[in-house]
Amino acid sequence: MKPFRILSVTLLLSSLLAGCQTEAVESRKRAQAEKPAKPAKAAHAAKKAPADTDEFVNFNDWSDVQSFIDGMVERYGFSREELQRTLGKVRYVDSAVRLMRPAPPGRPKNWTAYRARFVEPVRIDAGVAFWNRYADALARAEEQYGVPAEIIVGILGVETIYGRNTGDFRVMDAITTLAFAYPDTPTRQTRMAYFREELANTLLLARDAGIDPFSLRGSYAGAVGWPQFMPGSIRKFGVDFDGDGRIDLRNSPVDAIGSIANFLVMHGWRRGEPLVFPASVDAAAGSGWELFLNQGLEAKFRLNEMRAAGVKPETTAPDDLLYGLVDLQNGEAPTEYWLGANNFFAITQYNRSFFYAMSVIDLGRAVRVARGI
């Protein structure tokens, strides 16, 4: 029996409640930022950050910004005066800070509702049109990287509805704001360090490409283009797949196709391996299956040890692969359980979410079925 890799297409037609909502929120993805609880207090700031969205702040007055400039001059040979002029034009984006805060407590996760936002007719129809138009590039990516076309199509559909919604924040504004005024959270310093590195990558990307850094637009977290890559990911994983001599994820869907495939391979994708298998768990007290929950985003358990603890595949799953237990909480309804193989977890490196990875898989399959393949 072939492994059951994805959820039934019949469920998607019941999922119209959110229509064609685009996902600035899902762009948190590449930023991988948890949403903290309180507004940022810039301890290093000479001036208090304004409460209004897109207000001017002279970031050059902030001591941490001057330290950042020192590092860019020393590490990458930037002109201090040029950087001060550039950062002097940055605007503080309060909405970026607000969107990093946690959702109100008390509302349980709901896989069915989440899935309905992405596996829906608008994205499916757009996916069919995209696949038809770029079939050659998708086939070439599958041959070169071993990533099936439906996975690439699923990611592009979830991320931006095939380039329709790539974000309209100035990347320099969003990333600088989060680099120096990230909201209060236990991991605030780590997150600011991450965004400072992305600010450096933004400046380097612009310099290498010979473009104005303020011309880059994207999500509130700074993700860019059709595939919503952070600037650092563009520099590390972007590829010139259309052969025009430059990597352009804002305007070249072919570059986006190749870059997504390359990203997945560089994050552990293995040619020809399966994704997920439906599973059930033994609800009896003390069976031990709960020990496989919350074990990170990797496949690291043998099937025999999971079976012994009460985790049972509902279709034939290869004994020679490693797995992780995927739990898709459904509000008040029963949780769905799956055995995620290595390639499932490669998708979670794009966005650290089981819901995201399963939506990518399901949307890609729905597009393939609608296309009649």
Positions marked active-site: 159
Choose among 338, 335, 333, 334: nearest CA to 362.
338
Contact assessment for residue 45 and residue 58, using Cβ atoms and an 8 Å cutoff: no
Neighbours of 298 (CB within 10 A): 17
Q: DSSP secondary structure string, 282-313?
A: --STT--GGGGTT--SS--EEHHHHHHTTEEE
DSSP 131: H
Strands 301-302, 276-281: parallel, antiparallel or unpaired by DSSP?
A: unpaired
Residues 6+ apart with CB under 8 A from 139: 149
The alpha helices in the chain, defined as continuous H runs, are 28-31, 63-76, 80-87, 94-99, 111-116, 121-133, 135-145, 149-160, 171-180, 188-209, 231-237, 253-266, 303-308, 342-348, 354-371
Q: Please, are residues 340 and 321 in contact by the beta-carbon 8 Å criterion?
A: no
Query: What are the DSSP calls for 64-87, one per residue?
Result: HHHHHHHHHHHHH---HHHHHHHH
Residues 311, 342 contacting (CB under 8 angstroms):
no
How many other CB atoms are found less than 10 A from the CB of residue 30? Answer: 27
